[in-house]
Structure 1
Amino acid sequence: MSRTNAITSINLLLLQLPEPLQVEALHYVEYLTSRRVSAATQIGSQPKAPKRNGFGILKVKVTIASDFDAPLEEFADYQ
């Protein structure tokens, strides 16, 4: 089936559907288009580095205060 025949057939079928189903078909076509575009960009792009999980992944982002173990003033009455 040629491209123009397919488009004509799709248009004829869409015209037979009620409007809510036409909108649903439009959303599905948009979904297929976005999938195709994202797949095409993934083919030409560099492979991603694998995610690093486990101990040490936040080593640079998280710091602990030097007085971490010091008693808190709020709890002085309870000591």
Structure 2
Amino acid sequence: MLPTTTFQNIEKSLKQLPDYLQIEVLHYIEFLKSNYVKQIDSKTQSLDQASIEALEDKKVKKRDGFGIWQGQITMSEDFDVSMEELEEYM
């Protein structure tokens, strides 16, 4: 079971959302339940410590923005030298 403060924070945040976003949160909860049903203890409906750690390990660190391809793409030294085949067009 979640600590009381965590549940209260979720409830407080949920109440601040408009109705249509509350429905989206409900859909997301259903999605999580359907995808992680194997990790939920069917008797207590709560996650054991090993499952929590496994879920935390699965978190993907999203890396986007400037510099994510740094060092992975190279350009040849003669990139801007005109090709012989195109001399007549220049």
Larger radius of gyration: 1
TM-score normalized by structure 1?
A: 0.42
Q: Per chain length, whose mean CA-contact separation is higher, i.e. which structure has more relative contact order (CA < 8 Å, sep 6+)?
A: 2
